Every structure is written in C-alpha cells, then in structure tokens.
Amino acid sequence: MSEKIETIKVGNADQARDIATLVRPGQAPGLFWLGGFRSDMVGSKAQALDSFGAEKGLAVTRFDYSGHGQSGGAFLEGTISRWLEEALAVFETTQGPQIVVGSSMGGWLALLLNNALRMRDNDRVQAIVLIAPATDMTRDLMRETFNDAELLDLWEKGRVEQPSDYSDEPYILTRALIEDGENHLLFGAPIRTHCPVAILQGGHDTDVPPAHALKLVSHLVSDPVTFTLIPDGDHRLSRASDLDLLRQTLERML
C-alpha cells in the first residue's frame, strides 16, 4: 500500500492551522518522523525513513510543522510550544508502539514529545533515534551565540536575521521563538527517556557541534544510549553513506 496524504486541524479559533501529513500504513512498530527547523517531510532523510518502512512493512508517519512545507500557519508564528502541540496531535493519529526519529530541532522535539506522552501514561515510544539533535537550541545554539547587534535587534525589532547555508533566504529567529524555548529547556537535570536512544552526529557539523550532542549524552544517564560520530559528516547527514547508517540504526532499534 502507498502512503496517504492527510490533513489534521490543530489549535482553536485564530490559532487553528491545517497540518499536512504523509501516512504509510503498515505494521508496528511504526516510524514517526520529526524534521528540523525550516525543513519538510519530503527531505532525503524523511524519504529514506519512508523507504525503510516500505521495505519492512512498517507504518510511517511524517508531517510538516505549521509554517513549513505543505502545512498551514505562518512560519514567523512558530514556537517550540506550537510545534510540540502539532507533534502530539499527529502522534495521537498513530497506533501501537513507535520509533521516533528526530533531526536537528526535531531531536529536541522528540525528547519533549516523549516526556509529554509519558506524563500522560502513554508509553508507546519504543525507541528514539536522534540525528544531530539540537536540544535547547533556542538558548544554547541561538540566543547565547548572538552578538550585541543581534541581541539589540531581538529586543528592539523582535527578530534576528542570520544567513543560511541552505537557502538564499536568511533564517529569521523571532523573539517569541527564543522566549518560548525557555519553557522547554532540558539541560541542567537528568533526562529520562525510559527507552533506548541512538544518536547520529557529524564531526564537521557547524550548526549543532559534536560537543553539543555529547552534552546531551551526558544528561542521558538512566537509559541505554549509543552515540555514533561520523567524522566527515556535516549537519545534514544526507549522503548515501549517512542514509545507510540511519537504516542500520533503525534495523538495530527493531
């Protein structure tokens, strides 16, 4: 069976937005994809995940955050709270145990999603795979890296514009995004996942440096964790060899 395109509505009144999903029917454990900041559900890693699911007969669920890809809503209204709400809503459309795979910002959201589900006594997250996880990115990888001029822009203009390595359009980081992120910080206390975690990290990643991923490892003290460094890998980790490693990691998690 082929994937099925669906749309679900998240939020109420003026906060309502249509979230586009791609759902491949299949067996459990399902694979649940969480993409990165300004990425979408049809990127190379998401496609590799879908292909793996098709090969193994597993269900695969992908979606675009609001303001991303085919989903509604404005990108500049995006916050971690807003995108986490959407992730939870899409997760509720799945059935059975799931392997949650998060890339970059999606890695942070994967941990937050797992926490939120377990607070609801929902233990359907069977394992977590994190690709260059940008945990606490709004503080550690954004605000704390701003120069004086950018900090002034943040507070006076409500936004910071930074050049992007992946687009001609600059990254726009809003004050709302930075401030909301403070409500979701994980570093500073042990992180309990109650399931195995695998981390894939590029040694040449300048967006989420290896030291940042190792900082996450140091907080995961109670559950099985594997950390794989790809010495010549960049942030995207989307080369054929990187995608093969992702498939091998998923195979191990099964």
**Mean pLDDT of the 199-221 span:** 97
Instruction: Classify residue 154: in a domain, yes or no.
Output: no
Q: In sequence order, what are the residues at sequence separation of 6 or more whose Cβ sits closer than 8 angstroms to the Cβ of residue 37?
A: 104, 105, 134, 137, 171
Domain holding 58, by residue range, is: 4-134+196-253
Q: Which residue, among 176, 182, 141, has the nearest Cα to 158 in the 3D structure? A: 176
Q: How far apart are the C-alpha atoms of 32 and 100, rounded to whole Å?
A: 5
Instruction: Classify residue 86: in a domain, yes or no.
Output: yes
* pLDDT tens digits, one per residue of 13-65: 989 999 999 999 999 999 999 999 999 999 999 999 999 999 999 999 999 99
Instruction: Classify residue 27: in a domain, yes or no.
Output: yes
Look at the chain and report how many structural domains it folds into: 1
Chain-wide mean pLDDT for the chain?
Answer: 95
* pLDDT tens digits, one per residue of 86-114: 999 999 999 999 999 999 999 999 999 99
SS3 for 102-153 is: EECHHHHHHHHHHHHHHHCCCCCEEEEEEECCCCCHHHHHHHHHCCHHHHHH
Would the pLDDT of 1 be above 50?
Answer: no
Instruction: Classify residue 42: in a domain, yes or no.
Output: yes
Would the pLDDT of 74 be above 70?
Answer: yes
What is the per-residue pLDDT for 164?
78
Instruction: Classify residue 176: in a domain, yes or no.
Output: no
Supply the pTM of this predicted model: 0.96
What is the per-residue pLDDT for 3?
62
Instruction: Classify residue 177: in a domain, yes or no.
Output: no
Would the pLDDT of 246 be above 70?
Answer: yes
Instruction: Classify residue 241: in a domain, yes or no.
Output: yes
Instruction: Classify residue 163: in a domain, yes or no.
Output: no
* CATH code of the domain containing 37: 3.40.50.1820
* pLDDT tens digits, one per residue of 137-178: 999 999 999 999 999 999 999 999 988 777 778 889 999 999
